[in-house]
Structure 1
């Protein structure tokens, strides 16, 4: 069997490794534009702000690793054409300019995502950087020693972390987003407001609810970002506006989401025979809404890549779907979420109920304890949990994983409130804070039903 894998970040890397483990006699060809693979881009802000022990450890695999397993590695090669009918791939060596074609039996499209770069005047200036890959990471890291100020556009996870990183370095920092709140796609307003206060308390200027209209290079080497409300000037601007599927080469051949992400089934098949896809190029099945959505996360890419390998010979294991679980730490405070927020549910037209609850994570008789602010979202008809989020100066990240399992298994608020959680004063209260959150949801739901 001859398999061609196009693109090798997370989904491609895990696909290749697992195919070669399960089928060491297969011929596996890997095509990648860059000279590296498996870069954990979620660590860019940490690398830029000097909080990484060793940048080499931001890679969990190398081209040599895959080659030793038996893969034929075509690094710095760009696939320029795919003949799906005749099962043929054409690639260009980006160093020599040589072009060649070769056949495949099975094809895996793991071309990932590309940063969204809107057609805004001045955005292609050398003073406007991107934040996506290893090259971007190194450029930002090198600039961090030279600049005194930075403007970050986009207050999603990547932009929020980068702005916090620049602030950590003592840079004069501005964070801009067209939406009215930071992290608004991951958390509801009450938690966004907590983050916004931390930014302001740490000297970060917030330009929320402001749409960027242009970038202007200045004679003194700075750049000015003009929004529909204000103008901001700094030594560098970084666009962290979001990502889109990197599928322009072939998306017209497939069934896709409106943004071009390839729709895959539970076995990672695309709409074409013998063609699989995974990671940021593909859709994911979103369990809270039971439909296909675009959620570019490394965790999704890794699991989907493993599934491609398991199913490439025959359908063996189904995709369990995702809850889009994620977390971030800003100014020492943890934020973690899984599933729907109330805001996202409204956008999707979903009828949900929610509760907000705050409790100390362990007993007040301890010398120290810390409050945890929590939200829980559920279906008022079935009482099944659809989402949850937490924030605290205490590390609550793993509690989002617990809520993820609850959503995955279609647990009700009643069941979560009675789960057998441990109690030990060093760690929690007799009623664990997640159980207390679910209990507050039960109380609210019951009171509504009794009216």
Structure 2
């Protein structure tokens, strides 16, 4: 059986390893556009500020390891330009030699991930304008971050924008953060986002909300960012305005995609074309609370979908149960956690809901060192089923977000949170966990 995988990072290599475990005789060829395999993209902001010493430290397995230890034909600098499902062919060219190739497959996995959104702004190709997605992006940004760079402008206040704002401030750079919408971190509700904004201002980040970038100015290197409201001088720009699925090369393939360009997959990670699978940031993600296919590109989901795709490709039928939208971000002294749907999403989906909020602490109030938590829970107005939760605080956020994610996965009601047997000792919790205290109010 000849397997071809397009993409050699999270989903692609999770699939390759699962195929190896399931099918001893598998012939696996992986086509990677870049030069690096199996690395943790989420660790890149911490390379910039030196918490992680080098980009080499975020590599889980090198391309040589896959070739020599696992007998996987792991190729680099291979750019796929077309998939021909009718003839079971993948067509492309080698980026280093410009020579074309055509490969036959029995089963194909598309795990091409997502690319940064780069609008066609005037001046976008000036030196000093960066994205942060690959190891090459990171190394290039680090090389450019000389002592002469005093001021950095970040466009976009999502995961990368916030993490990089902290990273740049921690190495002494002045930071301006430009966000097209009216709040930071739109994955949170506006009332919770105010806590994030307060933390950003405390750390002297210059926030520009409801401003849209229209271009950049400079001779060879960027000197200013132009918005619909003003012009801001800067020494370096980081673009973090979101990502889009890397699927443009599939337009003539007949593979069904959603309006964002993500490949539609079923629970077995099968696309609309037989023997063609997809996983990770280029595929859809079934959302258990929304009960529809969503697009929330995260490393955890990519690895799970990749493993499930690989198992099914090799004949071991297992299903992807879905996501509940769980994520967490470190932002200076705050931890920002969320799971399920927000109040904003509940309104958009016309789901009848109620909310409960609470300010509490992460541990027993009498034990020294207690840190504040702000908790917001969303639940169904009629059935009381938990719909989502957001928690922002300085300690203990991760523990409680994971409890809520587990409750969401199991379709628990908000009252059933009271029945959970959660860990307690004064340094870690009060006898009633804060999320249980909220449930007692309903």
TM-score bracket for this pair, using the shorter chain length:
over 0.9
Determine the C-alpha separation between the residues in 2 that align with 1:128 and 1:406: 43
Deviation at 1:291, TM superposition (A): 0.3
1:358 maps to 359
- How many Å separate the matches in 2 of 1:325 and 1:53? 28
Cα shift readout 1:387-433 (whole Å, capped 9, x = no counterpart):
10111111411321111111111000011122111221111001012
CA contact under 8 A between 1:17 and 1:66: conserved in structure 2?
A: no
Does residue 80 (structure 1) correspond to residue 78 (structure 2)? The answer is no
> Matches of residues 305-320 of structure 1 in structure 2 within 5 Å?
305-314=306-315, 316-320=317-321
Say which SS state the counterpart of residue 109 (structure 2) adopts: strand
Residue aligning to 1:34 = 34
Contact between 2:3 and 2:29, CA under 8 Å: does it hold in 1?
A: yes
Where does residue 449 of structure 1 map in the other structure? none
Does residue 178 of structure 1 match 2:184?
no
Matched, 1:49 2:49: yes
Q: CA deviation at 1:242?
A: 0.4
Partner of 1:259: 260
Matched, 1:107 2:108: yes
Q: Describe how 1:33-432 pairs up with structure 2 within 5 A.
A: 33-67=33-67, 68-146=69-147, 147-184=149-186, 186-217=187-218, 221-252=221-252, 253-314=254-315, 316-432=317-433
The offset of 1:366, in angstroms, is 1.2
User: How many pairs were matched up?
Assistant: 439
Which shifted more, 427-436 or 306-315? 306-315
Deviates more, 1:174-183 or 1:353-362: 353-362
Q: Which secondary structure does the structure 1 equivalent of 2:52 belong to? A: coil
1:126-185 deviation per Cα after TM superposition (whole angstroms, max 9, x unaligned): 22211211111111122223311100000001011111111111111100011111111x
**CA–CA distance in 2 between the matches of 1:81 and 1:422?**
53
| Deviation, structure 1 residue 100 | 2.2
Aligned pairs for 1:13-32 (under 5 A) are: 13-32=13-32
CA–CA distance in structure 2, aligned partners of residues 354 and 15 of structure 1: 40
Deviation for aligned residue 1:315 = 5.8
What do you get for the CA RMSD once the two structures are aligned?
A: 1.5
Kindly provide the CA deviation profile for residues 279-314 of structure 1, in whole angstroms up to 9, marking residues without a partner as x.
011000011100001111111100000001111133
Per the alignment, in what secondary structure is the counterpart of residue 249 of structure 2?
coil
How far apart in 2 are the matches of 1:262 and 1:172?
Answer: 40
8 A Cα contact 1:251 1:261, kept in partner: no
Please say which of residues 152-161 and 86-95 is displaced more in the overlay. 86-95
Q: In structure 2, how many angstroms separate the alpha carbons of the residues matched to 1:101 and 1:225?
A: 43
191-200 vs 265-274, which moves further: 191-200
Higher alpha-carbon deviation: 236-245 or 85-94: 85-94
Quote how far apart the aligned CAs of 1:218 are: 5.3
1:222 deviates by 4.7
Q: Distance in 2 between matches of 1:207 and 1:271?
A: 43
Shift of 1:119: 1.8
- Unpaired stretches in structure 2, ≥5 consecutive residues: none
Conserved 8 A contact 1:251-1:260: no
SS in 2 for 1:69: coil
Give every structure 1 segment of 4 or more consecutive aligned residues whose post-TM-superposition deviation is greater than 4 Å. none
Rounded to whole Å, the distance in 2 between the matches of 1:105 and 1:55 is 35
Counterparts of 1:70 and 1:240, CA distance in 2: 37
How many Å separate the matches in 2 of 1:381 and 1:122? 53
CA distance in 1, matches of 2:141, 2:440: 46
- Residue by residue, what CA displacement relative to the aligned partner does 1:14-64 show, whole Å, maximum 9, x if unpaired? 011111122121100100111101221212221111111443221112212
Which SS does the other structure have where 1:345 is aligned? helix
Alpha-carbon shift at residue 351 of structure 1 (Å): 2.7
**Distance in 2, Cα, partners of 1:384 & 1:66:** 45
SS at match of 1:138: helix
Partner of 1:448: none
CA distance in 2, matches of 1:218, 1:164: 29
Distance in 2 between residues matched to 1:416 and 1:218, nearest whole Å: 59
Shift of 1:367: 2.0
Tell me the equivalent position of 1:447.
Answer: none
Rounded Cα–Cα distance in structure 2 between residues aligned with 1:41 and 1:348: 31
